[in-house]
Structure 1
Amino acid sequence: METVMEKYKGIHPGIILDRELKKRKLKKGPFALALPEYPQTITAITKGRRALTTEVSLKIDKALGFEEGTMYLLQAYYNIMLEIKKEQSKDRPDLSLLRKTLFWDTDIKKLDWQKQYVSIIKRIFERGNEQEKKVVFDFYGKEKIKQVTGRATVVGNTLPIMQTNKPR
């Protein structure tokens, strides 16, 4: 069976705190003042806009009867998840912005976006819409786009189109 900590890994601890306060029918303001912390601090944490500090997490653990370090451990798991997402975003663009039909013949998640950049750029600029072209342009940069398409100028919101080598 899954442990409670495994269940909450990667979730901002503020969301868990908010759920716990609602479950216990505690209001954020009085809870914050009982810690003692500013109510704005607890509100920002419960909305996921602020990270937990060690000091605040220990106060919350004590006030809610959690084992020491529980909330801070959840913050650490959340930070790890953010870092993993940040690292993954360096390897490839946001795939949710690209239609799966562009890469109908392959698994888009298994593409090596660094080694296969020529074929990826060609496919996007031949079959993609303006948003998809912009995603690829932002990911690879002007130089790689110019290397593959032959153009690197952006006029207004227009992105470069593939040059064809037609005999004259």
Structure 2
Amino acid sequence: MNTYLEKYKGIHPGFILEREFKKRALHKRPFALSIGEHPQTLNAITKGKRKLNTALALKIEERLGLEEGTLAILQTYFDINEEKQKREDNTPNLALIRKSLFWDTDISMIDWDKHYKAVIRRIFERGNETEKQELIHFYGAEKINTALYTSAGKPYTIYKNK
């Protein structure tokens, strides 16, 4: 188990299963049916589109002769890694951005990746220098310039990288 954990920590357990099936020359459909699962479920897991629950992980581990808990722990590490990535880079430092700039919406509910053009335009039209610098730090100068240049109704300012 330790070698699996060290080697594959943070990788979806479905990808490891796929590799294990190839190494053992096993086909997914017959394997899924042999453990009483739907082949579609196992296929979705091996493609990383679905999480591996503990009950299924135990069935698979038993059938493949893996140490108990290996796949479940790998799924937990993958979930932790995903959550960390969501937390790290999904929002700029909101302490540096005035909520009044977003009077028409709840600032905590903004999807900063999906609505980046509107956010950039609003802050570059109405924000102060600190807010602009925070956006430059968060999105990068190239993305800022592209958003400002391509947005409808040209903005008042185009950021110039000094």
Which category describes the TM-score, using the shorter chain as reference length?
A: 0.5 to 0.7
Structure 1 equivalent of residue 74 of structure 2: 74
Q: 2:162 matched to 1:162?
A: no
Q: Taking CA–CA contacts closer than 8 Å with sequence separation of 6 or more, which of the two structures ends up with the larger relative contact order?
A: 2
Which secondary structure does the structure 1 equivalent of 2:152 belong to?
Answer: coil
In the alignment, structure 2 segments of 5+ residues that lack a partner are 98-113, 129-147
Q: Distance in 1 between matches of 2:123 and 2:33?
A: 55
The letter of the residue matching 1:73 is: I
Which secondary structure does the structure 2 equivalent of 1:3 belong to?
Answer: helix
Q: CA deviation at 1:46?
A: 0.3
Q: 2:121 matched to 1:146?
A: no
Give the paired residue count. 121
Structure 2 equivalent of residue 5 of structure 1: 5
The letter of the residue matching 2:79 is: N
- Cα deviation per residue 1:89-113 (whole Å; 9 max; x = unaligned)? 2244xxxxxxxxxxxxxxxxxxxx5
Identity of aligned residues (%): 42
Q: TM-score, normalised by structure 1?
A: 0.61
In the alignment, structure 1 segments of 5+ residues that lack a partner are 93-112, 118-133
Q: TM-score, normalised by structure 2?
A: 0.63
Which one has the bigger helix percentage? 2
Q: Distance in 2 between matches of 1:24 and 1:53?
A: 23
- Cα 1:135–1:6 change in 2 (3 A) is farther
Q: CA RMSD in A?
A: 3.0
- Cα deviation per residue 1:61-105 (whole Å; 9 max; x = unaligned)? 10111111110100000000100010012244xxxxxxxxxxxxx
